[in-house]
């Protein structure tokens, strides 16, 4: 059975599949040539990340396609229900990257609380005599301990983030649709696991005024609307800080820039953008925004877990060929 990992797969995933008798191809096929390649090479399994889209037109044009796997959480680049209605197994790896994304968000919060991203960029000017000016500019940061973090979307990633934030002494408010109490484990080396119970709110607008920091972990909305736009910015504390490592479009970028310009929002960290892979320049050059290129799940450890999990899903569905 042939597998096309069009956006790549870890060596651990490749080894697991090859040991089970699968042939794994990791050549990247351009989107416009994908149908031809799948049919010509008789690929029955297609693995993607966020770069490749798998729409119903592709599924209709590739009758031998049996499995579509998404390495990661969000599947907005795949017509999931349509594929399943055609008998195609469509799966993702929701657990594999939770820790990696949570750690990126923690790093982003530390960065924007002290304007580290901008300081790193401006420090070369210190050799020109700007050291004292920069010291004054960046000497008004804030600490995370004791601050309130609102986590919008309290699934696996949100809960992993809560564990780290609790360990840093932050107050955590979760937000989801169910509002059911969740036990969050906090691992302490030499001590063991301490559990904290959090009952998420179901009302976004009641949570926003309480938050010093806001992190977003929801999928792109089916109707295309932003989760955070001007009405939500208006409810926030003066000087709130925001991290979006979920999906471009869940924060309205025009309203975000306005909130930054007015001081309503102090700093922002963005790992995702509406116009990937070409984010708007106003975001990339704003000194109040720390930007990363959609790397939330891009750690060595997460990629290994994703590859193995995809391999296990495929073998579970189709067995071995040894």
Q: Which of 12, 41, 274, 276 is catalytic?
A: 276
Measured CA to CA, the distance from residue 78 to residue 32 in angstroms comes to 16
- How far is the first Cα of the chain from the last one, in angstroms, to the nearest whole number? 11
Catalytic site includes residue 114: no
How many alpha carbons fall within 13 Å on the CB side of residue 228? 34
CB proximity list for 150: less than 8 A, separation 6 or greater: 173, 175, 207, 208, 210, 211, 213, 214, 215
Catalytic site includes residue 294: yes
Q: If we measure between CA atoms, which residue out of 69, 121, 115, 66 comes closest to residue 94?
A: 69
- Sign for the CA dihedral angle at 39, 40, 44, 50 comes to negative
Are 318 and 290 in contact by the 8 Å Cβ rule? The answer is no
- CA 138 to each of CA 106, 175, 178, 266, 313: distance values in angstroms, whole numbers, following the listed order: 20, 32, 41, 13, 48
Catalytic site includes residue 117: no
Q: Which residue has the tokens 């790397």?
A: 295
Q: Which of 117, 217, 247, 305 is catalytic?
A: 247
Q: Which of 114, 117, 217, 294 is catalytic?
A: 294
Which residues are known to be catalytic? 247, 276, 294
């Amino acid at each position: 059975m042939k597998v096309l990992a069009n956006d790549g797969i870890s060596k651990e995933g490749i080894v697991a599949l090859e040991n089970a008798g699968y042939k794994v191809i990791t050549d990247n096929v351009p989107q416009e040539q994908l149908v031809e390649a799948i049919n010509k090479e008789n690929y029955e399994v297609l693995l993607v990340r966020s770069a490749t889209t798998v729409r119903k037109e592709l599924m209709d044009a590739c009758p031998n396609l049996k499995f579509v796997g998404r390495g990661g959480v969000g599947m907005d680049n795949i017509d999931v229900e349509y594929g399943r209605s055609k008998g195609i197994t469509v799966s993702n790896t929701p657990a594999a990257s939770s820790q990696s994304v949570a750690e990126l968000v923690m790093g982003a919060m530390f960065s924007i609380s002290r304007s580290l991203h901008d300081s790193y960029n401006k420090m070369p000017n210190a050799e020109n005599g700007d050291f004292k000016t920069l010291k004054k500019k960046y000497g008004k940061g804030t600490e995370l301990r004791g601050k309130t973090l609102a986590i919008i979307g309290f699934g696996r990633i949100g809960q992993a983030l809560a564990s780290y934030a609790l360990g840093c002494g932050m107050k955590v408010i979760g937000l989801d649709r169910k509002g059911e109490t969740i036990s969050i484990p906090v691992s302490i080396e030499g001590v063991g696991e301490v559990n904290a119970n959090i009952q998420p709110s179901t009302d976004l607008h009641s949570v926003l005024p309480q938050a010093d920091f806001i992190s977003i972990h929801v999928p792109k909305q089916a109707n295309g609307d932003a989760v955070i736009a001007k009405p939500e910015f208006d409810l926030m504390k003066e000087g709130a800080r925001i991290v979006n490592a979920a999906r471009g479009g869940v924060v309205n970028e025009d309203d975000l820039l306005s909130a930054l310009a007015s001081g309503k929002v102090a700093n922002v960290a963005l790992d995702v953008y509406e116009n990937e892979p070409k984010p708007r320049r106003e975001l990339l050059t704003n000194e109040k925004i720390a930007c990363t290129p959609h790397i939330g799940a891009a750690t060595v450890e997460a990629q290994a877990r994703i590859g193995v999990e995809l391999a296990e899903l495929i073998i579970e569905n189709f067995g071995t060929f040894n």
